[in-house]
Amino acid sequence: MALFLTKDLDDDAHSRLGVWHITESEAELQELCSIPSDELEEISFIKNESLRKQKLAVRALLDAMFEEKVYLSHHDNGKPYIENNATNISITHTNDYVAVILNDLEDVGIDCESLDRDFSAVEKRALSEEEIEDLDDDKRNEQLAIYWCAKEAVYKKLSQYKVDFAEQIEIDSFRPKGEGELEATFIHKDGYEEQFDLEYMTFDRHVLVWIA
């Protein structure tokens, strides 16, 4: 069982974070998680083995975070929800890790990326001119990864269509550290600005950003 991390994100335990390190084989993951037969059949049709393992690892992580058996489903826009529990959920996965954030009261967002990925394309696609000017050459790829994950986390929390990451999601200036806090602004199409606080951590050549 490769449960990497679980922790409460507030004193009242309304919000929780969980991370699973995928070290098991596909067969071992199937044995670890209680997954409905229809969902298991759906996963079996996925051609990519790594993606199948990621889906199974999410189920194993949910089993570790909930006392009762939960049923995971998705809205038409792809946003996940739990059929038999009212808690809000957001999910992210890479080849090596999956992570989940839960909140009983608020919508949430989470994103994880491997720092071995080249994020140079993110600069042109998702950053504003001010954010590009703030990039540090010494830690450029790591900073780009954090920018991307932060904007993805905000996007997942709000679950809106056709969001312009460069124009509508602004991340305040920061310098990459092992962990820290970020401030974000989402600019709605009517001009209304919404402020958000995020947290991030780096581990094992990965960056994880969440918004509870």
pLDDT in tens, the chain (212 residues): 699 999 999 877 799 999 999 999 999 999 998 888 888 888 999 999 999 999 999 999 999 999 988 999 999 888 999 999 999 999 999 999 999 999 999 999 999 999 999 999 999 999 999 999 999 999 999 999 999 999 999 999 999 989 999 999 999 999 999 999 999 999 999 999 999 999 999 999 999 999 98
The last residue of one of the domains, among 86, 105, 124, is 105
Asked if 95 and 141 sit in the same domain, the reply is no
pLDDT at position 170, please? 98
Distance CA 53, CA 43 (A): 9
Strands (DSSP E) contained in 13-123 are 15-21, 72-74, 80-82, 88-93, 97-103, 109-114
CA count, 13 A, side-chain hemisphere, 143: 18
Q: What are phi and psi of 89, to 5 degrees?
A: -140, 145
Asked if 125 and 202 sit in the same domain, the reply is yes
Asked if 125 and 197 sit in the same domain, the reply is yes
Asked if 143 and 73 sit in the same domain, the reply is no
Closest CA to 144 of 165, 102, 115: 115
Whether residue 135 contacts residue 95, with contact meaning beta carbons closer than 8 Å, is answered with no
Whether residue 151 contacts residue 126, with contact meaning beta carbons closer than 8 Å, is answered with yes
Asked if 93 and 116 sit in the same domain, the reply is no
Q: Which CATH number characterizes residue 179's domain?
A: 3.90.470
Sequence-distant (6+) residues with CB within 8 A of 58 are 20, 72, 91, 93, 98, 100
Q: How far is CA 2 from CA 16, 18, 22, in A?
A: 18, 11, 7
Asked if 100 and 119 sit in the same domain, the reply is no
Asked if 122 and 30 sit in the same domain, the reply is no
Structural domain count of the chain:
2
The last residue of one of the domains, among 85, 105, 125, is 105
pLDDT at position 101, please? 98
Asked if 61 and 93 sit in the same domain, the reply is yes
Asked if 72 and 100 sit in the same domain, the reply is yes
Q: Which CATH number characterizes residue 10's domain?
A: 3.90.470.20
pLDDT at position 36, please? 82
Q: Which two tokens stand for residue 211?
A: 């918004």
Q: Give the structural domain span for 90.
A: 3-105
Distance CA 151, CA 170 (A): 8
Asked if 94 and 174 sit in the same domain, the reply is no
Distance CA 2, CA 20 (A): 6
The last residue of one of the domains, among 87, 105, 123, is 105
pLDDT at position 1, please? 61
Asked if 123 and 197 sit in the same domain, the reply is yes
Closest CA to 139 of 207, 210, 211, 209: 207
pLDDT at position 210, please? 98
pLDDT at position 148, please? 98
SS (H, E, C) 107-171: CCEEEEEECCCCCHHHHHHHCCHHHHHCCCHHHHHHHHHHHHHHHHHHHHHHCCCCCCHHHHEEE
